[in-house]
Structure 1
Amino acid sequence: MSTRRAWPAVVAVAFGVFTVTATETLPIGLLPEMASGLKVSEGTVGLTVTLYGLFAGLLAPVLTAATRRLDRRRLLLVILTVFVAGNVLTAVAVNYVWLILVRLLIGFIHGVLWAIVASVAVRLVPPALSVRATAVVFSGISLATVVGVPLGTMIGQWLDWRAAFWALAACSVVALVSTAVLMPPLPAQGGVYLSELPRLLRAGNLRTAVGVTAVVVIGHYAAYTYITPFLLRNVGVPPDMVGVLLLCFGAAGVAGNFLAGAVIGRGPSLRAIVLALIAGTGGSMALLLAVGDRQPVAIVFLLGWGLAYSALPVALQTLVLRSVPQAREAATSLYVLSFNVSIALGALFGSLALDRSGPSLVMATGIAFCAVALLATTFLRPDATES
């Protein structure tokens, strides 16, 4: 494709990522409404998010291997079609069993999207623009957090939680149609059998990248999942300001995402960038814990955390792609497995810390995992991290 035709296709893929991410996380903003409508507890509704993520992560390598010969455009269209159907079925769910079965179905296919989307982005543009294309596609995640979930939550609160999922189904249709129109055929490349996935981990940088991803994601979600009680109790933020601060955190994340796309490949080594971003993430947490109730300073460090952490997926995904360039999608499926399972583990560790000692221990847990990730990153071979 010419560069002029490639970017609309990249944006279409990014919008698909936006709708998929919003589908995964929207129940978080609608827990009370969905619980009331389906006559279950909020924690029970929350399980639909946890199980969704576990399904997506654990099945990503299996389904990536199973679909290794399918044209990537056709596979993306199948995935988006499932999300259209899934959001419609969620909107008309008559009970909790219906809801959980639909969520598991969507989670089943979700991991395949994450395994292929980065390799699709880099194939649509010239090699020199591959990192920028990856950043654009990954911006769909940040935009879903900053725009999609808050907007869906407002729709659900103003009208009904089902209306929010009808709106999300409409967005999924737009993503499906735009992908069908703008994206060219992309024959499968570098397909790997499931039995060969362990062999990929013999590549030292990939093994380190997957390990670093696991540790830093556990650290982030251990702290971020329970950031609300920390802001309320430790920083003394008024309850009506928490939502505003989380929105600012997400906006900082969008900026970090695009900053990573602009910096990677244009100066510092990728190893140095990953080290700096992990240090920025853990350091911001540490300073946030240290400043206590000095709110203006605490807010600065909160935004620094959002900026640094949201740039990490672009850097880590680029590291994975460069570690095993001959098997990008298979390597990414292992990255997806590590990322999604670590989200669930992070939330679990954070919950244990909160119950044991309160929000301060939650933040300290996140800091400790970031320190381990920083140490693990030093094992990357600098010569093998560059394109």
Structure 2
Amino acid sequence: MAITATSIVKDEVKAKATAIAFLGVSFASAFCIVIVNFLSTYLLWQTIYNILSLSAFACGILLLVFVPTLREHSSSKGFALFKKTFENKDVVAILLISVCCITAHFSIYSFVQPWLANTLALEESSVSLLLLCFGVAGFLSNTLLTRYIEEYLSKIVLYAIALTAMCLLLFSVFGIKGYTLVLYPLFVIWGGCVSSLIVCFQALVIKLAKQEAGNAVAIYVSCFNGAIGLGALLGGLLLQWFGIYILMLINGVIVLIACYQYFKRFIKGGVNG
């Protein structure tokens, strides 16, 4: 998706194109579950599935009609495609940092609903509202990225990682009965930052990989999907061994370390991201 968007625009707006391409994902994450739940009160689930299937088919037709056919140009072929990408130390650094951040995020997010509903004993309406805050913040942050990502990409990544670490660490402090109101601003910050990071990491990979952008994005997507599974696995093990609040503390520290490594290489080190 992102590599297609960046292939049909000029070099100076590639990061912006990446942010725009992800707006649909952010919108779906924020609103589609709410929309489907609303429809379920009036329609049978079979009807809802039919609507979703027809919508997906219509989207496929629109893609065929409006998206031009692209040919990826690369200076290398075969296994050399990935070898050349891994020789780019800046791309490898971003991949490792993104894996740490995404793993830590999903290590907690995979279990956030039972934490809110069971551990904190929040009402179903409060749980839904918190998750909606998370999703809406993600959509709004991606909307803002379309305006500022080109000019402030490196700094946005730094601040988003730092604020994500702050949220995960504060969850272990304030995520107890009597402080649940604090969770609302934290979920807004968390949702906005994580959504921004998903877009900005991919934009950085595209920018740093240059001619090998297509191969680098393929590796990034694989790392991202692997980090989701790794996060759920790590979260389950840490939850079983130590409990939810130690899980949050450990993952907050992981993101904090990733933040330091990013600052050291891409901000203090002056790498042109």
Unaligned segments of structure 2, at least 5 residues: none
Aligned to 1:186: 70
Aligned to 2:199: 314
Relative distance call for 1:159 and 1:365 in structure 2 (3 A) is farther
Aligned residues of 1:277 and 1:308 also touching (Cα < 8 A)? yes
Relative distance call for 1:159 and 1:355 in structure 2 (3 A) is farther
Alignment of 1:172-321 (within 5 A): 172-190=56-74, 192-196=76-80, 197-233=82-118, 235-266=120-151, 268=152, 270-291=153-174, 292-293=176-177, 294-321=179-206
Distance 1:303 1:236 in 2: 20
Distance 2:75 2:29 in 1: 32
1:1-36 superposed Cα distances (whole Å, 9 cap, x missing partner): xxxxxxxxxxxxxxxxxxxxxxxxxxxxxxxxxxxx
Alignment of 1:44-123 (within 5 A): 117-123=1-7
Aligned to 2:272: 385
Distance 2:40 2:247 in 1: 30
Give the secondary structure class of the aligned counterpart of 1:190: coil
Aligned residues of 1:155 and 1:163 also touching (Cα < 8 A)? no
Aligned residues of 2:85 and 2:209 also touching (Cα < 8 A)? yes
Alignment of 1:33-48 (within 5 A): none
Distance 2:6 2:40 in 1: 36
Relative distance call for 1:295 and 1:123 in structure 2 (3 A) is same
Which of 5, 8, 18 pairs up with 1:134?
18
Distance 2:69 2:215 in 1: 20
Q: Select the structure with the greater relative contact order (CA < 8 A; seq sep ≥ 6).
A: 2
Distance 1:353 1:167 in 2: 40
Relative distance call for 1:330 and 1:234 in structure 2 (3 A) is same
Unaligned segments of structure 1, at least 5 residues: 1-116
Aligned residues of 1:222 and 1:365 also touching (Cα < 8 A)? no
1:315-339 superposed Cα distances (whole Å, 9 cap, x missing partner): 1111101111111110001101110
Q: How many residues align?
A: 268
Distance 2:78 2:118 in 1: 47
Aligned residues of 2:19 and 2:145 also touching (Cα < 8 A)? yes
TM-score (norm 1): 0.64
Distance 1:191 1:140 in 2: 32
Percent identity between the aligned chains? 25
1:159 shift after superposition? 4.4
Aligned residues of 1:118 and 1:137 also touching (Cα < 8 A)? yes
Whichever residue aligns with residue 345 of structure 1, its letter is L
Give the secondary structure class of the aligned counterpart of 1:385: coil
Aligned residues of 1:319 and 1:385 also touching (Cα < 8 A)? no
Distance 2:235 2:41 in 1: 28
Return structure 1 stretches of 4+ with deviation > 6 angstroms. Answer: none
Distance 2:265 2:26 in 1: 27
Aligned to 1:170: 54
Aligned residues of 1:285 and 1:363 also touching (Cα < 8 A)? yes
Aligned residues of 2:31 and 2:136 also touching (Cα < 8 A)? no
Give the secondary structure class of the aligned counterpart of 1:237: coil
Whichever residue aligns with residue 255 of structure 1, its letter is L
